[in-house]
């Protein structure tokens, strides 16, 4: 009889243990999946230690192993503390402010909307298109200026930023849309080598018409004491030859030189600036794909005290207005409209209206108007620098 009671008691203990762990298992699996897909993999050891710890403690309590209880609880608490300490770098990395290209609300520049920030001419446009509107696309940073072009020339209507005759899909996709014939004209920076090769592959010729000028700028955390870099300094940093801020007059901290994804406007601008100087591999981070695999993705700029990144002047100072970063002078010259116009700022880029054999009859006349006094007034009033004196 006693043996049967012991067997029943042992069976009950096992069932209780299985119930406890089985109840917690789906919660742990859901938590692990969330951690995986949210890029919080540094939390996985903590989660697993909690689950394993509950299992061991359950065994101690169920079987009333008093002599092991204190030791098990100490080991469990020690493991929890160590796993929490191990998460600190990941938490610090995750909580750094991020500066992204394209991280801006374009709806505030939408043509013909109440309180739109798109520039309005003081007099009616000398050029109008009433039908067969050219479909235009472009870089995020240039949307304010070409939205204003459309507001001056197109008939009043609804032109949503991401799906209309006047949209913005960022530089890479805009070039794709131009080459596959879904748009008639794009407003972007100069194409990358890959984009030129793709145009040649599909048998299209890109026609680039300069419509304005802008400064390509480098920025750092606002607490970084470095105020200016030379062009050679920047090339040294992005080639990997300069690795510590003390080499350029800053603190003794390793330089975190962030980059942008391939074929983005700012990455192409960096490649043009670097010329024949090889660019080092960019920082990457592990991202969980929809297929459940981990892929490498170029890291977004995270505003560490030792970070450096790049963008365009107007986008940074007017569209995002991020107070936690500071634009650097280059060769001692600050990036302003005046130094762009005078040519004193050494890294300027032309802004282009780009076409690829569009059959829309209004495209060339539209470009001609953009280069006219009214079109260039919009370029200036938006915040860029006109292409003509």
Give the whole-number percent of the chain exceeding pLDDT 70: 84
- Where on the phi/psi map is residue 331: left (φ > 0), alpha (ψ -120 to 50), or beta? left
Say whether 6 sits in a helix, a strand or coil: helix
Contacts of 228 (CB under 8 A, 6+ apart): 328, 329, 330, 331, 332
Average pLDDT over residues 100-105: 65
> Any idea which of 67-76, 109-118, 149-158, 300-309 has the lowest mean pLDDT?
67-76
Contacts of 231 (CB under 8 A, 6+ apart): 273, 330, 331, 346, 347
Q: 289: pLDDT confidence band, cut at 50, 70 and 90? A: very low
Average pLDDT over the chain reads: 85
Say whether 155 sits in a helix, a strand or coil: coil
140: pLDDT strictly greater than 50: yes
pLDDT single digits (tens) 185-208: 999 999 999 999 999 999 999 999
pTM of the predicted structure, to 2 decimals: 0.75
pLDDT single digits (tens) 67-88: 667 777 777 777 778 777 777 7
Select from 3.40.50.970, 3.30.470.20, 3.40.50.150, 3.40.190.10 the CATH code of 214-348: 3.40.190.10
Q: 178: pLDDT confidence band, cut at 50, 70 and 90? A: very high
| Run of H or E residues at 136 | strand 136-138
Residue-range domain boundaries for the chain:
2-95, 214-348
pLDDT at residue number 10: 62
pLDDT at residue number 15: 73
CB 369 within 8 A of CB 154: no
């Amino acid at each position: 009889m006693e043996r049967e009671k012991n067997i029943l008691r042992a069976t009950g203990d096992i069932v209780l243990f299985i119930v406890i762990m089985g109840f917690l298992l789906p919660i742990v699996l859901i938590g692990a999946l969330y951690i995986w897909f949210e890029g919080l993999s540094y939390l996985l050891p903590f989660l697993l230690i909690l689950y394993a710890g509950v299992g061991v403690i359950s065994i101690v309590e169920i079987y009333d192993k008093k002599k092991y209880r204190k030791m098990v609880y100490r080991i469990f608490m020690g493991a929890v503390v160590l796993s929490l300490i191990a998460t600190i770098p990941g938490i610090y990395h995750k909580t750094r402010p991020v500066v992204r290209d394209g991280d801006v609300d374009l709806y505030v520049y939408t043509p013909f909307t109440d309180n739109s920030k798109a520039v309005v001419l003081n007099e009616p446009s000398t050029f109008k298109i009433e039908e067969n509107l050219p479909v235009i696309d472009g870089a995020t940073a240039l949307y304010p200026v070409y939205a204003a072009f459309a507001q001056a020339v197109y008939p009043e209507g609804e032109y949503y930023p991401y799906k209309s005759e006047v949209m913005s899909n960022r530089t890479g996709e805009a070039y794709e849309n131009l080459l596959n014939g879904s748009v008639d004209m794009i407003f972007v920076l100069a194409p990358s080598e890959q984009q030129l090769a793709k145009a040649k592959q599909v048998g299209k010729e890109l026609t680039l018409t300069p419509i304005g000028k802008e400064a390509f700028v480098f920025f750092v955390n606002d607490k970084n004491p470095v105020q200016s870099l030379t062009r050679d300094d920047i090339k040294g940093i992005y080639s990997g030859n300069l690795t510590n801020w003390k080499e350029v007059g800053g603190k003794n901290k390793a330089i975190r030189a962030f980059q942008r994804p391939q074929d983005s406007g700012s990455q192409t601008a960096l490649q043009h600036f670097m010329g024949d100087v090889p660019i080092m591999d960019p920082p990457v981070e592990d991202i969980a794909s929809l297929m459940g695999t981990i892929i490498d993705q170029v890291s977004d700029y995270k505003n560490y005290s030792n970070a450096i990144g790049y963008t365009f002047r107007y986008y940074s100072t007017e569209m995002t207005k991020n107070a936690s970063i500071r634009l650097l002078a280059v060769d001692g010259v600050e990036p302003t409209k005046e130094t762009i116009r005078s040519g004193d700022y050494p890294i300027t880029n032309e802004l282009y209206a780009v076409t690829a054999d569009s059959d829309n009859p209004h495209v060339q006349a539209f470009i001609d108007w953009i280069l006219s006094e009214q079109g260039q007034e919009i370029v200036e009033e938006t915040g860029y620098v006109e292409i003509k004196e």
